[in-house]
Structure 1
Amino acid sequence: MTTDDKTGVQPLLARPRDILAMATSSDPWSPAVTAAIALAARWASNLTSCYIEPSLRQVGGADLEPSALGLLLQPRGDDGGERAAFASHAHRLGVREAVWTVTHAGLAPTLRRLGAWHDLAVLERDMVEGAHLFDILGEAMLTSRIPCLLLPPGRDDEQLLLDRVAIGWNGGIEAVRAIHSALPFLQAAKEVLLIDGTPPGADDAEEKVPRFDPLNYLLRHNVMVRSRQIQVPPHLAGATLLKEAQGMHANLLVVGAYSHSRLRERVLGGATRHMLLHAEIPVLMQH
């Protein structure tokens, strides 16, 4: 930790106090659980792991009542053995408080409810089948508004090295929220690159509102960052961001999700949709 030269005071580092993992298995522990344990141990965070069974992962509709869902499905009950095993496993790896629970509702309502008292959710991108990925996972992020760390398929890394971070910046409020939520990752990173794709004249519509400067904001929070400006058509934004992140060998990409309406995202393809489908590194998204 560095010290401010003018005041001699050590800067406070950001950290999420409560982390949520959406678990897809307990034997072995699924990648989201493994990653969330690593983060909770690193930041001395409380950890909740919520198991969601395969049938419930495919259920859409943020307002579907659990009682109605129960008529269609018979999700497994809470298992005291799993709770004890998870707590023991997490404590052994350095997590102070760890709780295992089971949801009886779909992903979107679960994430919306649990997200109300958690600071970060960790999910496996392939927990939802490809045909439903955009609708169900996208709906969950859109309605919960909690920052979500999405792990690519095949990711199962106990160390979860996320020290080279690319940030996708387009001037939108979603990108501002994503940068703010990503501070714990950014402050710990060895290299941070801001990929600036702000459209010309993007500030004109909000000229009466104080402007958010991402570079100044990050420097105020002790994040050394460099910037690279790009100009691409909107339909190429997602692919370009992933290419730029790959070029710097990033192991984390930070982006705002759904900068446009859901309908426009669906019609245009959208950067959010492209990254949900194609990112090969963890992506921190927030609406």
Structure 2
Amino acid sequence: MYPERSEAARIDTDADQAALATGPLATGPSDVLALVTSTSPWSPAAVAGVSLAARWGSNLTGCFMDPSTRGLHDTDREPTVLGLLMDPPTHDADAHAAFGAFARQSGVCEATWAASHTGLARTLRHLGAWHDLAVVERDVVDTSGVLDVLGEAILGSQLPCLILPPRWSGGFGFGHVVIGCNGSIESIRAIHAALPFLRMAKQVTLVDGDVRMSYDAESCLPHFDPFVYLLRHHVTAKPQYIRASSDVAGDILLKKARDAQIDLLVMGAFGHSPARERVFGGATRRVLEEADIPVLMQH
């Protein structure tokens, strides 16, 4: 015969069961990084970072990217000619105070300010060591540097990156989210990183392009089922299936995004490094170049 539970223990257990029945509270990343390109007015990354950090109760870091050096590759160590000609920035103190005030007014409890005077890849890899999510504007570099400079930063940092399209001024409700998953490690990591966004979404569509590979069976690796994983995290996804090459898959994802008027696309950032250069896979390259909605990517 088991001893009778105390009233306090019974109340605690009942509360635990109620919490399980209603699902977990919406939690987000502890530390959000916004790579800021403009302070007056605040650039889209700053606005998005403040909005998300306030919603999740996250710590926020705003980092101003020096325009004269942000295009440097990770292997570059010398300043550009333009950088040598420019005067050192003097607005850091004022920007620090302004960013703190902007964040507090929006409901962010902890906000810090920094400035980077080196390349995007080195900055993101360094700051990514103590952040859980980076918010980056696609036009943080010019069009010619999207694939090599921004690509190097995304692939090198291995940090979840919310990429905002040029001149983004939309909201950050993320009512309808589409996930592109092909069973790769990159896409699985992206789904895991996207959970805070998925919990906020009213509708989630999972475009599953997973092909059961023979080497999975030979290596005895457990299979990742994205639908089961999402259900475990109280996210119900509507399934869609495609079988297409990497290049075509990018076009399909973009078409679905436009037709369904989605708010966020989630996908893995696929890449490799021939001759020491970071090179995107076909679907990743297509989406990064042409998406006109926010894209959450992770390598």
Alignment TM-score > 0.5, same fold:
yes
Structure 2 equivalent of residue 169 of structure 1 = 181
Q: Matched residues in 2 for 1:191 and 1:4: separation?
A: 26
1:53 and 2:63 matched: no
Change (3 A) 1:96 1:236: same
Q: Matched residues in 2 for 1:32 and 1:205: separation?
A: 43
Deviation string for 1:187-246 (max 9, x for gaps)? Answer: 110000000112353664664111111100000000011110011222211111111222
Q: Matched residues in 2 for 1:203 and 1:31: separation?
A: 43
Alpha-carbon distance, 1:8 to partner: 4.5
Q: Which segment drifts farther, 263-272 or 232-241?
A: 263-272
- Consecutive unaligned residues of structure 1, counting only runs of 5 or more, are none
Structure 2 equivalent of residue 217 of structure 1 = 229
Count of matched residue positions in the alignment of Structure 1 and Structure 2: 280
Q: Matched residues in 2 for 1:202 and 1:54: separation?
A: 47
Change (3 A) 1:173 1:4: farther
Q: Matched residues in 2 for 1:206 and 1:185: separation?
A: 35
The DSSP-based 3-state class of the residue aligned with 1:139 is: helix
The DSSP-based 3-state class of the residue aligned with 2:134 is: strand
Structure 2 equivalent of residue 27 of structure 1 = 40
CA contact 2:71–2:149 (8 Å) conserved in 1: yes
CA contact 1:166–1:193 (8 Å) conserved in 2: yes
Alpha-carbon distance, 1:6 to partner: 9.6
- Once the two structures are aligned, what percentage of the paired residues are identical? 49
Q: Matched residues in 1 for 2:115 and 2:216: separation?
A: 47
TM-score (norm 1): 0.90
Aligned with residue 230 of structure 1, among 242, 253, 260: 242
Alpha-carbon distance, 1:147 to partner: 0.3
Structure 1 equivalent of residue 9 of structure 2 = none
1:105 and 2:105 matched: no
CA contact 1:164–1:251 (8 Å) conserved in 2: yes
CA contact 1:18–1:118 (8 Å) conserved in 2: yes
TM-score (norm 2): 0.86
Structure 1 equivalent of residue 89 of structure 2 = 76
Q: Matched residues in 2 for 1:8 and 1:90: separation?
A: 34
1:251 and 2:263 matched: yes
1:186 and 2:202 matched: no
The DSSP-based 3-state class of the residue aligned with 1:57 is: coil
CA contact 1:57–1:106 (8 Å) conserved in 2: yes
- CA RMSD in angstroms comes to 2.4
Q: Matched residues in 2 for 1:114 and 1:268: separation?
A: 22
Structure 2 equivalent of residue 198 of structure 1 = 210
Rg (Cα) greater in structure: 2
Letter in structure 1 aligned against 2:69: L
Deviation string for 1:122-155 (max 9, x for gaps)? Answer: 0110111111110000000111110000001121
Change (3 A) 1:206 1:120: farther
CA contact 1:4–1:11 (8 Å) conserved in 2: no
Structure 2 equivalent of residue 64 of structure 1 = 76
CA contact 1:163–1:185 (8 Å) conserved in 2: no
Change (3 A) 1:58 1:208: same
Structure 2 equivalent of residue 118 of structure 1 = 131
